[in-house]
Amino acid sequence: MAFLSAYDPRRYDPIAVTVDVVALTIRVVESVPTLHVLLVRRGRRPFVGRWALPGGFVRPEAGPDGARRDEDLPEAAVRELAEETGLAASTDRRAVDRRLARVYLEQLGTYGTPGRDPRMRVISVAYLAFAPDLPDPIAGGDAETAAWVPVAGVDRDHMAFDHARILDDALERAASKLEYTPLATAFVATEFTITELREVYEAVWGQALHAPNFHRKVLSAPGFVEDTGATTARGGARGGRRARLYRAGTARLLHPALLRPGQEEAR
């Protein structure tokens, strides 16, 4: 940090720091499990009426003792997610924590190209979140609407700021994460079937997978899933065997990995 002392940011126009969240979940649409992203429709300028990622400024906060207590970045991301989903009133920390406890959060990247916000210099730290099926969001107090939107139906050409690019980066990261980590389990309930897990992969990768081979690969990766001993209460609605129930294992990485098919000729 060569100039940490020589440079005083207070003498310049400040750089604003925001946190944006790409929250992904799987919802069933017409019997098809489909990848959705949480978006808000902006109620203010700029980009009024456009879809945007939920997010907002990182700000100093007053702690219980009234002293300044800055937010950590992941903390700010969870707060934005909680506020926009309406999962809890922002004052009710306990409820927020309970409902969002199972949400997986990781940093995606930071976007700071000058001009990405027409008003001022803004640096956005983007986070990627994987969530099990959450309720429909309740519109925040800022007169926007919020909704889970199927990613295939997102009109990227009309998104606010550079959020279309952030979304694309997030989708690629998510697809890649499923290859090397057991994070697909973050999209399903605590107990799940191998078929449900496969539907997560199919929704995120956007392609059908060979069910028998998928089954075997999941079971052969140590620590991916643990057998609960139980099965589903019923078979499929139109018949079919009951499925065994699993819970997430303890592995952080998959060995061997579950690679996307048809990635041969990578440019």
Our CA angle for 129, 185, 138, nearest 5°, is 40
Q: Choose the one of a copy of itself, DNA, none that binds residue 193, judging by a C-beta under 5 to 8 angstroms depending on kind.
A: DNA
Please report, for residues 82, 121, 191, 226, the alpha-carbon distance to residue 60 in angstroms, rounded to integers and kept in the order given: 18, 19, 39, 42
Q: How far apart are CA 38 and CA 219, in angstroms?
A: 32
Residues in the chain: 267
Closest CA to 156 of 81, 53, 57, 84: 53
Q: Tell me how many residues contact a copy of itself (CB under 8 A).
A: 67
Q: Is 200 in the site for DNA (CB under 7 A)?
A: no
φ and ψ at residue 135, rounded to 5 degrees? -65, 165
By the 8 A CB rule, do 203 and 33 touch? Answer: yes
Residue 113 CA to chain centroid, in angstroms?
A: 23
* 4 vs 237, beta carbon nearer DNA: 237
44 lies in the site for a copy of itself, by CB under 8 A = yes
Residue 28 interface partner, choices a copy of itself, DNA, none, CB cut-off 5-8 Å depending on type: none
Residue closer to a copy of itself, measured from CB, 115 or 229: 115
Minimum CB distance to DNA, residue 220 (Å): 7
- Determine, following the binding rule CB under 8 A, whether residue 57 of this chain makes contact with a copy of itself: yes
In terms of C-beta density within 10 A (0-12 exposed, 13-18 middle, 19 or more buried), how is residue 52 classed? middle
Is residue 4 at the binding interface for a copy of itself, with CB under 8 A as the rule? yes
Q: Residue 94 binds what, of a copy of itself, DNA, none (CB under 5 to 8 Å, by partner type)?
A: none
Residue (111 or 192) nearer to DNA, CB: 192
The answer to the question of residue 149 lying near a copy of itself (CB under 8 A) is no
Residue 257 CB, nearest distance to DNA (Å)?
6
Check residue 206 for interaction with DNA (CB under 7 A): no
The residue within the footprint of DNA, chosen from 172, 231, 252, 253 (CB under 7 A), is: 231
Q: Which residues bind DNA (CB under 7 A)?
A: 193-195, 210-213, 215-217, 219-220, 231, 234-244, 255-259, 261
Q: Which residues bind a copy of itself (CB under 8 A)?
A: 1-7, 9-10, 12-18, 20, 40, 42, 44-45, 52-60, 68-73, 80, 83-84, 107, 109-110, 112-114, 117, 119-121, 123, 125, 140, 142, 144, 160-161, 222, 250-253, 255, 263-267
